[in-house]
Structure 1
Amino acid sequence: MKNQIVKYFLISVLIILIDQAVKLLVYYNMDMGTKGQILIFGDWFKLHYLTNPGMAFGMKLNFEYGKLILTVFRIGAMIAIGYYLYTLIKSRANSGFLVCIALILGGAIGNLVDSIFYGIWFDNAPYDAPSAWFHGQVIDMFYIDIWEGYLPDWIPGLGGDYMALWPVFNIADAAIFVAICFIIIFQKRYFKKEEEVNTNEFETQHS
């Protein structure tokens, strides 16, 4: 059992290390924005260095300690996910599901490192942040440009705005996204054991 615990938590550690390594490479070797953009596959997949001050898709809590609250929430979520993974391993859950949770944990910690430390290490906290600690901005770099342009004027609220259809993301985001997709696609397989246990208990009670 100990080896199983180590194995799945090592997956999380691997995601964190890869995520941070890529972010460091981008930080030290790329110019921010369009100036430093690197095309990979035509115009639709490129490396585009930017920083994300808040949550996913650039959203943020617009008050002085909003980012601090978000970071503290992420710490709590990281601890909860880590404990959940541990209990799943102990209960011998489906290995595919365990890998998914390990990916989510690694991705959560990967972005948490940015939020806690990058304001100090890279001095990238917003100018109006009350403290550099816990106010670091997350580094993003992968840009899948499915479509970008100005929205038609007739769209309520967004008409005339410039918008990119796909956000810029990083390894941590990708790990979380892929894990969630696999959980949705293979949910019947991942939760089959639990469903069988519930079915057997129901049949025993009514036999």
Structure 2
Amino acid sequence: MLGIFSAVGSFISGVVSTVGSFIASSATRLVTRLPEVVLVARVVIDVIATVISKVAEVLGIAPKDENPEELGAKSMQEGTRPRSDFESTQEYLDYLRKDVKLDEEKYAKMCPEQKIACSVLGTTMVAKSIEEKTGVELPPEFLETIYKSKLRHDQVERCINSFADNGISSMGEMTKYITNDLSEDEASKVGGVIKDSLKELSPSMTDAEIQQEIVAMKRSYNESQY
């Protein structure tokens, strides 16, 4: 029997021609960061998908309460046109939203691994559309950090915009900050932007309380069970 990495990865590889190699590659990289146990992987991707979908909604590039898993399923359906080389991810997502009807019968018959693949793919596409909107990369390791550090959507959205304003091009830098993988100078810059972002969200918080919140993020990441 195929493990979850092989099963989900193989399913995603089948849609490379539709969504493009970059999206499929990013989705596969995210899969390798998920737990091997299907039920746990389901929980992890659901948390990530919910946060990313909400961030996209706040940014005005996704409808309210969208289910990324359904977007992924639509992209895999027979008859769905491939993404054009000249088309942005946002334009392709709008095509899936408006012009592709979900095949409810086939969707209901998907196995758990296939539905995880759909969720990973849909979440990756929405994350890419956020990248296009903000100019800040959301790599798979950061998407994983959303779950491990228990980040809220408002924290993610505020930090993305603050990173953009401060010339930090990847949210992977936030993951490196949380995991203490930055140089002293880099940590000072990235940490300062994160602290300012949290202060903007909660102006009444003291510097000590903000620092405690960051420590909690790091502790949660380190104590994650996978």
| TM-score for the superposition, normalised by structure 2 | 0.24
Q: Which has the higher helix share?
A: 2
Q: Which has the higher contact order (CA 8 A, sep 6+)?
A: 1
| TM-score for the superposition, normalised by structure 1 | 0.25
Q: Which has the higher strand share?
A: 1
Q: Whose Rg is larger?
A: 1
